[in-house]
Amino acid sequence: MKIHLSKKDLEKGLSFVSRCTSNKSPLPILSYIMFKNEGEDRLKLSATDLEMGIEIFIKAQILTKGSFCVPAKIITEIISQLNGEDIVLELNESILEIRNKFSKFNLNILPEEDFPVLSFSKELPTIQISKKKIKEMIKNISFSAASFEEGKTILTGALILLKGQYLSLVSTDGRRLAKTETNLKEIFSKEEKNIIPIKALIELSRMLSEEEEPLEIIIEKNMIFFRFNDINFYSRKIEGKYPNYEQVIPKNNNIKVKINKENLINSLKRSLILSLERKNLNLVRMKIEDKKMYLFSNTQDMGSAYEEIEVEKEGENLEIAFNGKFLLEYMLNSQEEELIFMFSSAVGAVLIKPLKNENYIYILMPIKIKEEDTKEKELIKNV
């Protein structure tokens, strides 16, 4: 096998496929990338960790056909360090020669037969959506899923819900929930629910540009496939039943507060300077009174912080407390400038949504304010 191709094209392809390899698997081949010619002018790069898989096609001049597998980490490092614009890959029995006019490397390879078979769907797409839209939707929900350390497998995934003419993505870790949806051209007469690892959605998002070009989604029994440009990407589904998220969405939150997102982001960042010392809590108290929102944080043996923000309010005054980090993460992933907070009481979940986007909501459970936190109580009383 002999191939001529550009360093730029190969480097870009390797950056995508290498993220689907695994260095921790007992199967060494899962840390490899397979190279195979596709006709006379395209090279196919493939990788999998058995949970995700990817094929990417790049332009190349195929002088002689063939295939081989090489360690992802090694070849990625070699290509990134080469000078010049053009590269030659030439296979001689079990040795791959990588060269340009300045450098030459010889690598041991494994045969294609050792590589897992990647079965990419040939079915027609279930859904068509723009790359820009699905990238935005993933950003809106990826931060609120549970981490693997928390041990809740179902909650480490996102729910993909197809209902009527809507595609919804939902994620939750049990303390917060994010939901975003969009209209589709297709109409689904039956509700369809699938759970995909949030890790797979994040990897997909990294490969997507913010362009209106179409992306195709194919949903099969155990897999979800994504096709766009010269890339095929798949992920295994997570088996199980996703929690009934609709029952936790507040329906009667009569206290409404309109606030500028950037003002709240800056105030939260300053408030969290002290409260971050309380690991896994990040407690920030909030008092809403008339046209003001007050934020308070206090760390024992460190000190306290106070912030004041102008808001527009409908309804009663309120005192409530949240995990400030959870609140900040939503702010940093929302694209709108003005937000609406909808409260029911100091113990009820708050519903947050952009002022001009009804299709994106965030639910956050409050933290119960302990009576013994007298220092922060005193701060609030003195406002």
Pick the CATH number of 249-381 from 3.30.470.10, 3.40.50.10190, 1.20.120.1750, 3.10.150.10: 3.10.150.10
Which residue type, as a one-letter code, is found at position 12?
K
Rg, the chain, Cα only: 25
**Orientation angle between helical segments 261-275 and 324-333, nearest 10 degrees:** 150
Which residue from 156, 25, 132, 12 is spatially nearest to 79, judged by alpha carbons? 12
Contact 268, 282 (CB under 8 A): no
- Cross-strand bridge partners of residue 320: 286
Give the CA dihedral 119, 98, 37, 225, nearest 10 degrees. Answer: 30
Contact 265, 325 (CB under 8 A): no
pLDDT (tens, 9 = 90+) of the chain, 383 residues, equals: 999 999 999 999 999 999 999 988 899 999 999 999 998 899 999 999 999 999 999 999 999 999 999 999 999 999 999 998 999 999 998 999 999 989 999 999 999 999 998 888 888 888 999 999 999 999 999 999 988 776 689 999 999 999 999 999 999 999 999 999 999 988 888 899 999 999 999 999 999 988 899 999 999 989 999 999 999 999 999 999 999 999 999 988 999 999 999 999 999 999 888 766 555 478 899 999 999 999 998 877 778 889 999 999 999 999 999 999 999 999 999 888 999 999 999 999 999 999 989 899 999 999 987 654 545 455 445 55
Give the pLDDT score at 303: 81
Give the pLDDT score at 148: 75
CATH number of 127-247: 3.10.150.10
Which residue from 289, 292, 303, 299 is spatially nearest to 264, judged by alpha carbons? 292
Give the pLDDT score at 300: 74
Domain 2-114: what homologous superfamily?
DNA Polymerase III, subunit A, domain 2 (3.10.150.10)
Q: Which residues of the chain are in CATH 3.10.150.10 domains?
A: 2-114, 127-247, 249-381
